[in-house]
Amino acid sequence: MNIFLLLFLEFFKVGLFAIGGGPATIPFLSELGEKYGWYTQEKLTTIIAISETTPGPVGINMATYVGYSTGTQVYGLWGGIVGGILATLALVAPSIIIICIISKFLASFRNNKIVNDAFYGIRPAVTALVACAVISLIKESIFTGADGGFEFNLFSTLLFAAIFVLLQFKKLKKLHPVFWFVGAAVLGIVFKL
């Protein structure tokens, strides 16, 4: 199958079923990496980090990045541009279609018991999917793969714990996420030198 068609179809499915925003796309992206070999799980953590630190919604940034890098691998620079655009459009298309449909019937959806009950069940499922993705990212960050094995990464563990503890304070919680990414990047550079 043509890589562009495949990118569009796969990201359309992600956009259709990733309920809960950007973090909810992570389990789907993990599966795409394994299924098609477009990127490794380690590369996925890099994709997420880049998507978090660049302006815009995380899910869309990840789709653009994956589409661009996949298209570039196959067709070069222009393939990357086309792949990035297609993956991004495919990710947002289901939301646009669904919102247009819902807006036509908003009054009847607003108080519909079946719809409310469905979302009552969907919320825990989304939470579980995001939690599994987060656990996978924590494992990838704390344990660095070496020749198929794992090696405990003390620096990553201490940095994770320190940021986690600091984010429990209300004043620090208000800091923009970019502050944490830049600070962590600086510490990574300092400790790797």
Q: What does the pLDDT look like over 39-98, one tens digit per residue?
A: 888 888 888 888 887 888 888 888 898 999 999 988 899 999 999 999 999 999 998 998
Q: Higher model confidence: residue 104 or residue 32?
A: 32
Determine whether 105 is exposed, middle or buried from the number of CB atoms within 10 Å of its CB (0-12, 13-18, 19+): exposed
Domain boundaries along the sequence of the chain = 3-152, 153-193
* Cα→Cα distances 171→53, 167, 168, 174, 175, Å: 21, 8, 9, 6, 7
> Would you mind telling me the total number of residues written for the chain in this entry?
193
Task: Report yes or no: 72 and 8 within 8 Å, Cβ to Cβ.
Answer: no
Question: What radius of gyration do the chain's Cα atoms show?
Answer: 19
Name the region of 37 (left: φ>0; alpha: ψ -120 to 50; beta: rest).
left
Task: Report yes or no: 159 and 187 within 8 Å, Cβ to Cβ.
Answer: yes
Q: What does the pLDDT look like over 13-29, one tens digit per residue?
A: 999 888 777 778 888 88
DSSP letter assigned to residue 174: T
Determine whether 84 is exposed, middle or buried from the number of CB atoms within 10 Å of its CB (0-12, 13-18, 19+): buried
- Which residues, including other chains, have CB under 8 Å from residue 106's CB and lie 6 or more apart? none
In the block, residue with structure tokens 């302006």: 55
Which pLDDT band holds residue 129 (cuts at 50, 70, 90)? confident
